[in-house]
């Protein structure tokens, strides 16, 4: 499943959930700063945990140096779709 995310580096805590504006991007807040790819890696780990998959099942597709990223998540499509919907409707 391909998922758009919006990374918020330097947050006080790591959290996944909520919708970025009017888009279908899931907000991913991470404590890591946006230096040397640390925030990106933290975001990928947070997405893996939120979707209940191993980190290896999450691949960055686009946005390596941007706050807006696209990731592929390997797993059972119905379950991933349900988790995505729940995360988008969560309060950020």
Q: How confident is the model at residue 90 (pLDDT cuts 50, 70, 90)?
A: confident
Q: Inform me whether the pLDDT recorded for 92 exceeds 70.
A: no
β-strand pairing of 26-29 with 2-8: parallel
pLDDT in tens, 27-60: 999 999 999 999 999 999 999 999 999 999 999 9
Q: Are 57 and 48 in contact (CB under 8 A)?
A: yes
The partner residues of 16 in beta bridges, in order of sequence, read 28
What SS3 state is found at 55? Answer: helix
Q: Inform me whether the pLDDT recorded for 22 exceeds 90.
A: no
Give the pLDDT of residue 21: 83
Task: Show the domains of the chain with their CATH numbers.
Answer: 2-89 (3.30.1200.10)
pLDDT in tens, 53-82: 999 999 999 999 999 999 999 999 999 999
Helix (H) or strand (E) holding 79: helix 77-89
Which phi and psi angles does 41 have, rounded to 5°? -65, -40
């Amino acid at each position: 499943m391909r998922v758009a995310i919006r990374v918020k580096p330097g947050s006080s805590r790591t959290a996944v959930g909520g919708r970025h504006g009017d888009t279908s991007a899931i907000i991913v807040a991470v404590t890591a700063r946006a230096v040397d790819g640390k925030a990106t890696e933290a975001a990928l780990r947070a997405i893996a945990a939120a979707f209940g998959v191993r980190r290896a099942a999450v691949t960055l597709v686009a946005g390596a140096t941007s706050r807006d990223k696209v990731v592929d998540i390997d797993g059972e499509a119905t379950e991933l779709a349900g988790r995505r919907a729940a995360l988008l409707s969560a309060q950020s």
